[in-house]
Each structure stands twice: as structure tokens, then as C-alpha cells.
Structure 1
């Protein structure tokens, strides 16, 4: 998000200071002088928090202590709930207020106020969705009195910090922003915290992109071909989370199959055909919305699993979790402990774990009795509807209905305000109004669909569960207070959006799982294609009853794994959760790792859990490599690379040349077999795949020429992302060498590929020359880590800001192992290269036998202040797969404490 370049001129004194600072920064960088050391006292260190001594915090009833360990992670001790959350707001503002401020502007569609006209389009789309309005309704009508009290206390703590800090004293980014405009942050409100849950829900909303892509494919592929590209979930090979169980038809209550202990109480495809330009434009609009949790257009994954004490060396459960989110600076997560000195009616909390800056409570972690983790369930909670419209309204059930409308004014830093009109149907807001290309949405009429009069036009609306007020904020506090599985499930029932797999363990030895969320029941259709909004048969008829959602408690197998796979076998479950699960590559690998450890009475240790998290084995390499090594490659230059795969164990270590080459072969295989055949509406600009000139045969004599050409050539076809859905697409084709997907057209005078082996040979050739351009001619110098790098970027001034600012806020690269759909899921998107696009954003292993022996690590560090010692002091260890000690008891926290700050009334 670029700082606004067209804003009003700053005051004369501030402008001179800004120019002086800028000149100083440039000179320091050129001279190689440490920026933080030189400018730290005046600007950089001005925002560093006070962590020792005593400070006044108005509104407290008793003093609060804040202990920080050697990594700057805070542990807060208070005597009342309100004091605890007021201090949490103050401390998070100390470390991360810039991040909090940007987030609330994003969720409310007000980024233009900070960054200028370049953000108007994003703001317009977010205003159309109305996240902030829904959050306000939640706060006003849904949340419990205690939750409101906690949210207000948290806000008071944030505002107490803001009262005494401004500009560079808040964060270095504000000093940089002062170069462009005179923006000043306003007070924090409880709704600012609630609205963040909408951003979470948006990034975890399910299969909206798949809905769009399938519809776009209808212009090129038959229904059978599309089914091949979206295979059914392989239930027989990759286990669902809940193995067995059924819903009682009479009570609508889900009953698990068996437990070791007793438990406590037609599609709308036709409507989308022909909407190629509209849906393509909508897809582009979605990509412009900031993806705070993970990359747009790709399923966001995570791993969590729990092993019962019967199978652990501790005799009590071990629980692991590592959510896979976008790598960014600072990390999305914020580590902290929230402790009542004495738990009781006045003070109910003793929890520690990971939360979000800007939101009170702990999102993932443990309290003194239970631990919980989360992965994205992936339930289909959103549907696109094709609406038949004219200037007066929309058609529904053969009757004209008026739009519901509202005006939104978007303020723009340095420019004139913009006003938009948001139109909604009975399905939801019309999202196609927010794209210029889609304003002509009646010019392309559906084909083969019984739509009424096509002459006036169409629009696309969105129905999404998160646009209904809910109680997810209540659920966060209820999870923090839960003492047993009954309390855990009660909290889960209020975790309406986003739908998460919630995994559980307690200090008494129990383990469990609950699928929560508000999941729609559809009349007609299954959510895989946009539906006709004018037909009442496609309306939602209700929601899956909470008591009917799958769960498990102490299953006989002794462990539970959730990694975005299917929750339950759809043939045995009467409700539709989604048709677009993750395909289970990671989950089954975790299942296999656990089973191999516990067979014959073996036990899983904390070290084993940590080792499992770093498993980087590639399932697609295990599947495809035997075919690649059998191909007779004549070109010695390509053959040299092929030999890297012989004897390879399919692991993806950072120093592995074989992993680098295989992943390049996989990427090129996907492009040749599928990418070049995709409809033009799906096409994206990809990185050069180094297509070898047609007149070159045998060993290349002029590789430098190829390298130069690579810089000038761009692939113009859609490239599959390479995730485990594509594993299932390719799997049956490998034993069908003459399948049409293996055949390619003539290109640039070169004959097309006629079968599997020709295409795979072609892919190996392309991969050889691609890696030559990226890693050099000598394969001895190749490594997966050099190709597969992680950059940590500040999500505002570090992405699109002036170059010198990006250098101040960004860090990296790190050469990583792991890969797409591996347990160590350092994801990359084959559509755009090998750069790391999502990562295990944190890792934790909770030891329920001794909570002080639990372990955790964050991607970056506690601080959001560039040049703080804790800006990214955990990253090197994170990259190596290390975990840090996680102190919980008061004694352990005191022992680990390096700084203690007392907040006084």
C-alpha cells in the first residue's frame, strides 16, 4: 500500500524535517552505517516500549505486572478481568499499534484515509461487503455483557497509550507517513477489535475462487473434463478427521462411531455459463483485496494434531498446531500470557498462547486445564448468485424487487472524497458493481439457461455467513475460560465464523475435536457454481444444527489429525459441508508418521511432535519420480539433471538439488498438460518457463542467450497452483499414457507432445533450462533453498512504498526447505514461481503433563518496530525448525523474566 503521493503539503517545519531525515537515511544507507544505531535515539527508539519501572494506566483498580522474557514476549498479571484486558490493550499498542491501525482501516474500508487514492478501489469493495457495519451490529445486538466489558477495557488500554504517544513515538511508519500527509490515528473502539474477525472470515471463506474458476472453465471444457480437474476427495486413501459417526435423524444429534471413554452430553451451473468477462473481472477484484492471512486464490492450510497419553512418553496428551498463513513482517501472531493472580469470580483467566494484535484474549493456546488448536475447516459458507437486474431492481420469483441501497463516502488523503452506492438483493450485496469491466454485465447472456429476458442485464451478488451478526468474539473468551470438553464444545458453538477445526486436549488426559461454524443448508445446488438468484429454489433454507456438526472425544485410535482434509465421509453424513476440501496429502502424512511411531507399543515424545512438524517429504515426488527416471533422455545436458532424481528420497531440504529440479519439472508438467489449455479468462502472467528455442537440439551452446531471452519472455497462460488437488488430477493419468491431457499442440515449429512420456521429457527439458537461468549452469550449485526463498515484508510501506522505505522495514531472504502440501508447508504457487507464499506462521507443541515443558515459536518476533531487538529475533530459529521454551506457571515466568513493568492506577 503506497504512501499517498498526492496529499497536502505538510507544515513547513515538518516538511524540512522530513526532507532532512530522508537525506540522512539515504546517506547512511550508501555509507553502510547502521541506520538503527545512528537514527535510533531521535526516531527509531522513540517508539520502543518502556518495559521496566512503573507507568500510570488510568482505569486500573489494582497494579498490573508485565513480565517480558528474553524475546520480549509479555506475560500479564492482574487481579480483575477488566484490569487484565486493559493492560493487554496497552501492551499490544506498545508493540504493534501501526499494525492494529492499518488493520482497522482495512476492515472498515478506510485505507484511502491513510494511503491515498490508490486504495479507493479496495475501500469500495470492502464498503460494499460492509464488514464494519456487521461488526457494529454484533457488538450492539449479539455479544454478551461480559464480552462488551472486556472489549471496552481493552480499548481503554489502547487509548491510554495513544494519549501519550504520537508520530514516530507510536511507530517508525508514522514518521515515514509524515513525509506524505498529516494523518493522525483516532481512538480505538471495541468494534475495531470485532471487525478483525471479519478479515479472518474473508480469508478463510471457503470455495469462492473455485466457484468462479469452474464457471470460467465451462467456456473451454466439458462437464466431464471439469470433474477431472476437480476430483472427488479420496476417502479410501486419505482419512477424514472424524472416522465414522452418524447424525440421529430424530434428534439431529451427531454421534461419534466409538470412543475409549463415554462422551459428555442439483447445481446452478447453467446460470453461470456465458458470464466469462464478469466472473473474470470479479476474480481480479478479489485478488486486490488485502489477504492478511494468506495468498488470495489459494486454499489456506494448517496442521494440528493431538496424541493421547496412552501413546506418549509423558502419559498425558501432546497437542501440536501450526497455521499456514502469509509470511509478513511482523508476524500475524502475537505471543502473550494473560494471568489472574488468583482465579475466581473477579478474575477468570489464566491463559497463554497466540493472539492477534488488536483483539483481546488468546486465540490459540492453553489455559491451566485445557489446550486447543485450530485449522481451517473450509466449509462452503459463501455463494455467488447471478442476478437479473435493471435500473429499478432485480427479479426474484417472477417479480420485480427493489434494491436495498446505501451511500458510502470514502475519504481520500490528499484528494477529494468519493461516494459510492451499494446495492443489495435478498441474497446480499452486488459485488459486480465494484468493477468497471463488470458495469456492462448484461452484454454477455447465459447460454443454455432458462433465464428471463436477457436484454436488460445481469449482476453478481454474494451471500456469505459472515455478513450476518454472530457471537464469535464471545467464543474467544469462552475458550479461554473453558475447563473441560463440555465447556470447550459450548464455546465452539459460538465460533460461527470463520469455520475452524477445533482440536482439544486437557490435563486429565482427554482429547477431542469439534467442527463448529454457521454452515448453510441449500435448497437446490451444492455451491460449486454460481446460482440463479431469481430462482427461489436456490435459496438457503437454514443452517446445519450445531448439535449435528461432527465431533470426536477420546477416539479408540488414540489420536486426531486435522490438516484441512475432509471432516467426515460425505456418504455417511446427511449435510453438505463443502465439495472443495483439501485433498489430504498433509493429513495422511501426519497420520502415517504417528502410526509408524506408535505401532508395536511405541510412544510419541515432544521431540517427535516437533520433528513431525518439519517433515518435508513430497507426496507428488514419490508418485511422479518413478515415471521420470524411466524416460530415455538423449540430451546429455538434460540427462545430467535427470540423474539427480535417481536414488532421491523425496525430501525437500534447503540444500537439495534434486528437490529443486523435481519441483521445476512438476511446475513445467502442469503448465504443459493443463496451463496452456485453460480458458483465456483464467490466464495470468507467470514467470518465464524458458521454452527452449525450436531450432536448438542437443546440448545448448549458448545458455547465456537463453538466460537473456528468459528475462524478455513471459508465460501468458494459466498455470495450476500445484497444490494437492493437482496430485489427484495427475494420479489417474499416470497410468493412462495416451490420455488427451498429455497431448499438446505444435508451438513455434516444434511438434506437440503425443503422450505422457513425451510431455514428461519435455517438462524435464524445460526445467533444466529454467534452473540454468535461475541457479546457474552447474547443477552442483543448485539447491532448493536458493530457489525457494522467504521474504518478510511489512504489509504497507514495505510492499509498495518508496524503495528506501521498503529496505527499512523488510527482511530476508531465508532459504527454506519444505514445500507445497508437505507437512512443513512452505507453500509456493506454480502459477508464479517458487517464492514462498505461505508458511507455518507459528508452531507450538503443548505438553499437558507439564505445561512449562511446552514449546512455541513465532515467525518473526514480539515487536512491530523496525530495528527493535525483537523485530525478527525468532525467525532464524523458526527457519531451522527450532522451538523455544514456553513458560506458563508463575514460577517459570519469573525465572524467564528479563524485564518487568508495573502498570499502576
Structure 2
């Protein structure tokens, strides 16, 4: 027995030592020295207390090569999965369940476009050279170090990262902005199958002629709904960043306590592990920038230094049109285009599938763009639906645009840089230390024929689907040094200086109005403290707008004193989604039930589920509750004719039943923080027990859908999982940018078991901020380790 126990102890000890060695071998190297080929001079990388690298090089190429190396050792798996998603290569490592996602992204044409784009790039441009050096650093790290643990678990084989990979990831990001895929099918269904009385709640122009000369068949609608659902699922379940909205504002020195401009920004992106942004300070003589970088991108998407700072929000312009093609009855491979039958172009691609046979694809495209029905494989519909997408149709020198923005200390330089960003649409909010603030909507806006509403599927056989060129950048919404002394950007619809129409899928105005209400108070001098309070504000005026018309109906629906007390809470509630709020829980459950009882019978389950995943519903619900005569109130599944009061009563009763069944019979226990939680999900954490190793959370989450502190969830029944929110919070006072503060939602590192994997998660949920060290003295004072990268002799 002794010998057995001794042997067992030795085995356990060896296993533990082996496990510890294995985990240690995967960790980033943050001190000592490492040889790096192609360096012209040594590079110093100082790591601060959060694991942020501060890179000091002697020239630009060395700086970007070193950055690629350190970025890879913290985020290599994120880079790998991002390029696989964008290029339709996930099934090769995750199996046949990802074939549909791969087929979708192959159909979009991102892979094909990126390959051609990379071949055509001007290799003499500084931005291209920066990218090449950065990719060389990534590949050198990958070639010389053990693969991340996720590579081992999934059996991923290493392969070099390329320029086409970077362009592909940019395509994925652009696609994640595009709401048309998920919105146009359901709006077209409402228009063409239900009619004008149902469409008007969406605040869209009515076009009675329908999509085509003859209506789409039921099988076509089935296709469109499946495409919308596939698009939504592919983005939601990938476990990777998806852009959703954002806040940003710039305040001029006349309105700040310091007398210099102040910049605030918190882009709203789907939460994930690792977090979307990788922080790094990059410097060489003549250049210094503290930036927030995306995977496989050498230039910062957000950044600041002592001279200037900027943030971004999503423009939400509609840069993707769905177009129903007219097929030649005599030749199914031809469609009608500008007065004649034209051939569909075809190409073949192969999806490699882990532990299964490869899947062969035949993908088609018309003159309008890729035929997206092909994303479904065995499509049931007969009408090809093409996709015109600005990302595929513009020159889009976005890398060059951000490269220049990283160096833009003046208004004119910033404006010129932003003009190069053509897709996806972004708002760039900018400030500098000399006192200027500016905002430019960056996008290449297409000229559509007069009267065309791209919120609906367009007729490919008519001129309405044609593009008449693009508007000049001067037509884009923009402001520089406005007299009011501040600029707000929060995804609401903006106005062109030349009054052109800019179709889009804009967010509710409430969040922007809430921020504007505070900034408009001329008695306030803005600093980091009150700016932080504004970023963390959890209130919204949306509940009052939605509830006011139906409060009497809710009072009539309340069944007892307990329910009457809850209705009174809603009537008096200021919309503040605090962790303790019961009203927030009741309201969000009621929103879902009003939508379900009002709309699901007309739309059917599939289209209703797609609608509640769009911004269109946010706009529709207050208009619905305000219209007592709306056709939506009648339930088509009953013989009776329901009205607003009876439908609201049914929604209230369903809300009470669900909350009691889910949360218990005592309303005081229905607190928002118990029902509204955030878990940061890792791509491998979707399977148990890996969730315990890779996911971070759950955390009780204040705020809610379209509050300034925008911890958003999908409209649905309680409890609610937060899906997206502030991907970072940044505050930069240009009086002393070295005192800028920010926060990462989880941690700087994407390496499991690293000390910086989740070390900021709890502070982030508490609304804390941490310093973003910029000055040499500050960096030196907070350096915890230094890595020396040396040229290979």
C-alpha cells in the first residue's frame, strides 16, 4: 500500500509539474531579451502594471515589427480566429457546425475581395510598409514560440499571417456594422405582405408598388428570413467582436475646467474574451502614440498623445443594398440588368471541415454583387437576391486613412485622413491641445436614384437598384469648432451640410439626447470626474416615451394591490437602470411582451425573432404604444378583434406570470442586478466545462439598452445576458494627456492563466478607471518588467 501511494504521489507530482510547465510555456515573455530578425537597432518594450507594452524604437519599421511580436504573444489566438471567421475557414478547426457560417462569409466575397485588394496595394506607401513589418513581427513570434493552448485544443496548425488576412478582418468588421442583412428582409415583408397600416410604426416611407412587378413567392420569403437569421447567428455566436454603437464627445476649452479640449469615448462592441482592443504605446524619434488596436491591424483605431486624441462611433449609414434579380425564364443563369439579359458569374470554393469531407461551393454574382441565397446551400427560393456593398465597391484606402490619423495633429490633417475611410461608415471625433475639436462622418455615400428607399429590398430589373456614383466627402455630416463648444456622437441620425438624404439604421436618439442635455448646461465646467459620471450614467428617457400612452391601460390590467404598486413604480420611474431597480426589470419584460403580443401573430415566429434583433423595433415600439388605432393590436389568431387595451392587458399578465415563475413571488426580489448580467465569453467557453476555464463572469450589470452606460441586451424574456457595451472607456484632457484614464473590460492579455487575462474585469464593472501611462517619467515609474528585442547578429 505504501509503495502504491508513493507511486501515485509521484505520478500526481509529475503530472502537476508537467501541467505547470505546459501552462508556463504558453505565457508571454515580458522581460529578458529576445533576438528578432530584420531589426535595424535594439527595441525596448516596457510593460506596466496592466501588461500594456510601451515600445521605444529607433525607427518606424522596427517599431511596427516589435509591435507585431508583442501583440502576437498576447493575442495570437484572437488573430487566428478573426482571420478564419472573415475568410470562411472556421469549420476546418471547429467542425461541421461552422459550415453555415463559413458558407455565409464565402458568399459575401470578403475572401475574394481581400486577395485581390492585397495584390493591388501600393507597396511603396508607408502604411503598407508598416503593415508588412507588423506582420513579420507576428510571424516571427509564431514561428519561434509554442502555440497557444487553444491551438492545441483545436488542432490548429500554424501558418503565416498575410496582408490579405488583415484586409479580410477589416471586411468582417465592416460587415458587422451592416444592419441591412438583418433588417431589410423583415421590413420588406411588412411592406409587401402586411401593408401600409403595419409599416407606418417603423417611420419609413411607404412604397405601394412592392419589390418587383410580381410579388416574391413564399419560398423567397423563407430564404430571406433564413439569410437574416444566419447573418445574426453568425455574428452573435462567433464569440468575436461585433460593432454595435458608441458614445463619444469632445468639449472645447471654453467649456472645460482645464481650459483645453477634453475627449471622451466608449465604443460599444459585443463583449468577448479576449477584449477587442489591445493597448500599446508606440514610439520612435518623431512619433509617439498611445493607441487601442484591433487584431491584425498595426495602426490604432483609437488613440492619443500630448498633441491630439480621437475616438470613433458607428455612423450607421446604410451601405449595403439587397436586390431581387429578375431571372430569364429561358436561362436560369441570366438576370435582367440595364435593358438586357446578363450572365451570372460563378466561382467554386472548397470549405475544409474538421473530421468530415470538404464541402464544395458554387457561388454566383450578378452585376449588382454576390448572390446571397448561395449562403443557404440548398436554397428553396427562386429569386436570386444580390448584395451591393460599399466595402466591395469602393477603393477604400482605410489602412492609409488610419495611418495618417495616427499622425494628425491639426484639423486639416485629421480631415484629410478621415476622407480615406470609405467603408464601414464611422464618425471620427477629434481634439487637439491647441484648442480645436472636430467631427467627421467617414463614409463613401452612394448616390441612389431619387425616391429610392434602401430600407427595402430593391428591384434589380429596374433603375432603382442602380448607383449613380458617390457623393463628395464635403456632403458628409461634419463639424469643426462649433459655437456651442462641444460635439456629441451617439449613433443617432445626423444631417448633411448640403441636406442630402443619408439612409441608415440609426440608433434611438434618446442616448444622444441624454448626453447632449448634460453637455448643453453652460454652467458646468467639464473635467474627468463629471465626464466619468456621464459615461457611467444608467438612465434613459425611452421608458417614459413608451409607457406614457399606455399607463391607464396598465392600471386597468393590474390584478391586485401588488401589481398596482408595480404599475405605479413604472409611472413614477425616471428610467434609471440601477442594480437595485425593480422597475427596470418589469419594464424590460413588458417591452418584450408588448412586442410579442402585438407583432408575433402577423410576422410569424421566424420573422418576429429577426425583428427583435434589429434597431427597427426600438423605433417602432413607442410609435406603436402611441397609436391606439394601430392594426398591430388585433390578434390574427383569434376570432375577436383586440384593441390596444386588451393587448396591453395580455402583455402585462404574461409579464407578471413570467417574472413570478422566473424570479419568485416577491417583487422586491426582482432587482435589475439579479436579472441583467454580463459574462465575457471566450470562443471555446461555449462548451462546458471549458466555460469555467475561459469565460469571465457573470457580473451584475447596471445600465441597459440605449442608456449612456450602454450595457445592452437582446429584447426577450428575463433574465437577460448583456451582449454588448463599452469596449473601453477613455477620457483624455488635452491640458495634460499624460493623465488620461481608461479601462479594459477584462484584461490586456488573451492568454489563459496569464495574470493580465482578467485583472481589470471587476474594476470595469465597478465603474473604475486606470491610468494610461504616456510620459517617459510616468512609464518609467510604472514599469514592472522590460523586454529587450535585439537584432539578429
| Pairing partner for 1:635 from 553, 557, 560 | 560
Equivalent position of 2:5 in the other structure = none
Q: Given the alignment of the two structures, is residue 623 of structure 1 paired with residue 623 of structure 2, yes or no?
A: no
Instruction: State whether residues 264 and 731 of structure 2, in contact with CA within 8 Å, keep that contact through their aligned partners in structure 1.
Output: yes
Compute the displacement of 1:503 (Å): 0.7
Paired residue secondary structure (1:379): coil
User: Any idea what the Cα deviations from partners look like across 1:51-77, whole Å, max 9, x if unmatched?
Assistant: 111111111111111111111111111
Q: What's the RMSD between the two structures over aligned residues? A: 2.8
Equivalent position of 1:62 in the other structure = 41
Compute the displacement of 1:576 (Å): 2.8
Q: Aligned partners of 1:473, 1:792: CA distance in 2, in Å?
A: 29
Q: Aligned partners of 2:581, 2:685: CA distance in 1, in Å?
A: 31
1:259-274 maps to which residues of 2 (within 5 A)?
A: 269-271=210-212, 273-274=216-217
Q: Given the alignment of the two structures, is residue 874 of structure 1 paired with residue 760 of structure 2, yes or no?
A: yes
Q: Given the alignment of the two structures, is residue 319 of structure 1 paired with residue 257 of structure 2, yes or no?
A: no
Paired residue secondary structure (1:218): helix
Q: Given the alignment of the two structures, is residue 760 of structure 1 paired with residue 648 of structure 2, yes or no?
A: yes
Equivalent position of 2:186 in the other structure = 213
Equivalent position of 1:192 in the other structure = 165
1:509-588 maps to which residues of 2 (within 5 A)?
A: 509-523=435-449, 525-568=452-495, 573-588=498-513
Instruction: State whether residues 791 and 814 of structure 1, in contact with CA within 8 Å, keep that contact through their aligned partners in structure 2.
Output: yes
Instruction: State whether residues 138 and 471 of structure 1, in contact with CA within 8 Å, keep that contact through their aligned partners in structure 2.
Output: no
Q: What stretches of structure 1 of length at least 5 have no aligned partner?
A: 1-23, 233-265, 344-348, 443-457, 685-717
| Structure 1 residues 869 and 476: CA distance shift in structure 2, 3 A | same
Q: Aligned partners of 1:177, 1:291: CA distance in 2, in Å?
A: 21
Equivalent position of 2:352 in the other structure = 411
Q: Given the alignment of the two structures, is residue 280 of structure 1 paired with residue 171 of structure 2, yes or no?
A: no
Instruction: State whether residues 564 and 582 of structure 1, in contact with CA within 8 Å, keep that contact through their aligned partners in structure 2.
Output: yes
| Structure 1 residues 293 and 518: CA distance shift in structure 2, 3 A | farther
Q: Aligned partners of 1:433, 1:722: CA distance in 2, in Å?
A: 23
| Structure 1 residues 736 and 388: CA distance shift in structure 2, 3 A | closer
1:413-812 maps to which residues of 2 (within 5 A)?
A: 413-436=354-377, 438=379, 440-442=380-382, 458-468=383-393, 469-523=395-449, 525-568=452-495, 573-596=498-521, 598=522, 601-625=523-547, 630=552, 631-632=555-556, 633-645=558-570, 647-684=572-609, 720-721=612-613, 725-726=616-617, 728-734=619-625, 736-744=627-635, 753-756=642-645, 758-795=646-683, 797-799=684-686, 801=687, 803-812=688-697
| Structure 1 residues 849 and 477: CA distance shift in structure 2, 3 A | same
Compute the displacement of 1:304 (Å): 0.7
Q: Aligned partners of 1:171, 1:734: CA distance in 2, in Å?
A: 52
Q: Aligned partners of 2:360, 2:238: CA distance in 1, in Å?
A: 29
Paired residue secondary structure (2:63): helix
**Stretch deviating more after TM superposition (184-193 or 816-825):** 184-193
Q: Given the alignment of the two structures, is residue 835 of structure 1 paired with residue 760 of structure 2, yes or no?
A: no
1:296-311 maps to which residues of 2 (within 5 A)?
A: 300-311=244-255
User: Any idea what the Cα deviations from partners look like across 1:815-874, whole Å, max 9, x if unmatched?
Assistant: 101011111111111146522111111111111110011111111111111121111111
Q: Aligned partners of 2:653, 2:240: CA distance in 1, in Å?
A: 30
Compute the displacement of 1:798 (Å): 1.6
Q: Aligned partners of 2:16, 2:662: CA distance in 1, in Å?
A: 36
**Stretch deviating more after TM superposition (223-232 or 520-529):** 223-232
Q: Aligned partners of 1:667, 1:118: CA distance in 2, in Å?
A: 30
Q: Aligned partners of 1:792, 1:38: CA distance in 2, in Å?
A: 30
Instruction: State whether residues 408 and 419 of structure 1, in contact with CA within 8 Å, keep that contact through their aligned partners in structure 2.
Output: yes
User: Any idea what the Cα deviations from partners look like across 1:225-268, whole Å, max 9, x if unmatched?
Assistant: 21322358xxxxxxxxxxxxxxxxxxxxxxxxxxxxxxxxx898
| Pairing partner for 2:59 from 80, 83, 87 | 80
Compute the displacement of 1:628 (Å): 6.1
Q: Aligned partners of 2:158, 2:235: CA distance in 1, in Å?
A: 20
Q: Aligned partners of 2:698, 2:253: CA distance in 1, in Å?
A: 40
Q: Between Structure 1 and Structure 2, how many residues are aligned? A: 766
Instruction: State whether residues 72 and 863 of structure 1, in contact with CA within 8 Å, keep that contact through their aligned partners in structure 2.
Output: yes
Q: Aligned partners of 2:541, 2:378: CA distance in 1, in Å?
A: 41
Equivalent position of 2:705 in the other structure = 820
Instruction: State whether residues 200 and 293 of structure 1, in contact with CA within 8 Å, keep that contact through their aligned partners in structure 2.
Output: no
Equivalent position of 2:86 in the other structure = 107
Instruction: State whether residues 101 and 185 of structure 1, in contact with CA within 8 Å, keep that contact through their aligned partners in structure 2.
Output: no
**Stretches of 4+ aligned residues off by more than 6 angstroms:** 36-39, 292-296
Q: Aligned partners of 1:654, 1:752: CA distance in 2, in Å?
A: 40
Compute the displacement of 1:290 (Å): 3.4
Compute the displacement of 1:273 (Å): 4.4
Q: What stretches of structure 2 of length at least 5 have no aligned partner?
A: 1-8
Instruction: State whether residues 181 and 228 of structure 2, in contact with CA within 8 Å, keep that contact through their aligned partners in structure 1.
Output: no
Compute the displacement of 1:783 (Å): 0.9
Instruction: State whether residues 791 and 811 of structure 1, in contact with CA within 8 Å, keep that contact through their aligned partners in structure 2.
Output: yes
Q: Aligned partners of 1:876, 1:681: CA distance in 2, in Å?
A: 38
Q: Given the alignment of the two structures, is residue 163 of structure 1 paired with residue 52 of structure 2, yes or no?
A: no
Equivalent position of 1:174 in the other structure = 151
| Pairing partner for 2:68 from 85, 89, 106 | 89
Paired residue secondary structure (2:723): coil
Instruction: State whether residues 176 and 243 of structure 2, in contact with CA within 8 Å, keep that contact through their aligned partners in structure 1.
Output: no
Q: Aligned partners of 1:731, 1:177: CA distance in 2, in Å?
A: 47
Q: Aligned partners of 2:423, 2:545: CA distance in 1, in Å?
A: 37
Compute the displacement of 1:117 (Å): 2.4
Paired residue secondary structure (2:281): strand
Instruction: State whether residues 110 and 410 of structure 1, in contact with CA within 8 Å, keep that contact through their aligned partners in structure 2.
Output: yes
Task: Tell me the TM-score normalized by structure 1.
Answer: 0.80
Paired residue secondary structure (1:860): coil
User: Any idea what the Cα deviations from partners look like across 1:476-533, whole Å, max 9, x if unmatched?
Assistant: 1111111211111111111111110111100101101111112211135231211122
Q: Aligned partners of 1:534, 1:848: CA distance in 2, in Å?
A: 54
Paired residue secondary structure (2:713): coil
Task: Tell me the TM-score normalized by structure 2.
Answer: 0.91
Instruction: State whether residues 219 and 679 of structure 1, in contact with CA within 8 Å, keep that contact through their aligned partners in structure 2.
Output: no
User: Any idea what the Cα deviations from partners look like across 1:735-762, whole Å, max 9, x if unmatched?
Assistant: 5545444444676x9x875333x44343
Q: Given the alignment of the two structures, is residue 860 of structure 1 paired with residue 743 of structure 2, yes or no?
A: no
Paired residue secondary structure (1:56): strand
Equivalent position of 1:361 in the other structure = 299
| Structure 1 residues 485 and 464: CA distance shift in structure 2, 3 A | same
Compute the displacement of 1:293 (Å): 9.6
Compute the displacement of 1:730 (Å): 4.0
Equivalent position of 1:236 in the other structure = none
Instruction: State whether residues 203 and 291 of structure 1, in contact with CA within 8 Å, keep that contact through their aligned partners in structure 2.
Output: no
**Stretch deviating more after TM superposition (210-219 or 620-629):** 620-629
Equivalent position of 2:323 in the other structure = 385
Compute the displacement of 1:624 (Å): 4.2
User: Any idea what the Cα deviations from partners look like across 1:100-134, whole Å, max 9, x if unmatched?
Assistant: 01111122221122222222222222222221332
Instruction: State whether residues 101 and 234 of structure 2, in contact with CA within 8 Å, keep that contact through their aligned partners in structure 1.
Output: yes
| Structure 1 residues 842 and 300: CA distance shift in structure 2, 3 A | same
| Structure 1 residues 37 and 379: CA distance shift in structure 2, 3 A | farther
Compute the displacement of 1:616 (Å): 1.0
Equivalent position of 2:6 in the other structure = none
Q: Aligned partners of 2:271, 2:527: CA distance in 1, in Å?
A: 29
